Structure 1
């Protein structure tokens, strides 16, 4: 998966991020991490909050991390997961909304 490398998303980067969110479990994980804020959550608490555990949880977190949507850091014996960058979500929304209604003007004059 492509990660975010600048402030302007390419179609490939946006598709990669949206593909990572194309799972109910991953979307649930990301929503829960968004609720947790910048401090994030340890993996055990995150699994309990989303009813995911073990290899399934690890798999989904890996996909979100590879897409650049979350970050994972070690704190002692715990792994803390958090939203990587809230600006990323703004760029994703901006990507979709950048051309909002652009074709409407074209049809009025055509």
Structure 2
């Protein structure tokens, strides 16, 4: 993962509301949630929620799948794992250089 992609992902998580949405989707697992279910779990007004979902989708943090007239939302676990690996990639390397 490059720094630009990582920065976009971390930036998308940069609000309490978007973190609430993302955590709700992570808790839901691979089954995902409909928009109405996310709204009821987070209390975010529908118009604001649509904005946050768009932002999270654009950053690749969630995946949306249209099912007829509804949209299923799922956490993009692969991308989230890549972000975690990116931020931890050089964990403690400077400790090895101290003498």
TM-score by length of 1: 0.84
Q: Distance in 2 between matches of 1:42 and 1:89?
A: 20
Runs (4 or more) in structure 1 with deviation over 3 Å come to none
Q: What does residue 5 of structure 1 align with? A: none
- Written as runs of structure 1 = structure 2, the 5 A alignment for 1:30-45 is 30-45=22-37
What is the aligned counterpart of 2:16 among 24, 31, 34? 24
Q: What does residue 64 of structure 1 align with? A: 56
Give the 3-state SS of the residue equivalent to 1:91 in structure 2.
helix
Deviation for aligned residue 1:47: 0.6
Give the 3-state SS of the residue equivalent to 2:98 in structure 1.
helix
User: What is the count of residue pairs matched by the alignment?
Assistant: 99
Q: Who wins on radius of gyration, i.e. which is larger?
A: 1
Alpha-carbon RMSD: 1.0
Deviation for aligned residue 1:24: 0.4
Deviation for aligned residue 1:105: 2.1
TM-score by length of 2: 0.93
Q: Distance in 2 between matches of 1:98 and 1:74?
A: 35
Task: Name which of structure 1's ranges 69-78 and 23-32 shifts more when overlaid on structure 2.
Answer: 69-78
Structure 2 unaligned residues grouped into runs of 5+: none
Residue 93 in 1 paired to residue 84 in 2? yes
Deviation for aligned residue 1:50: 0.5
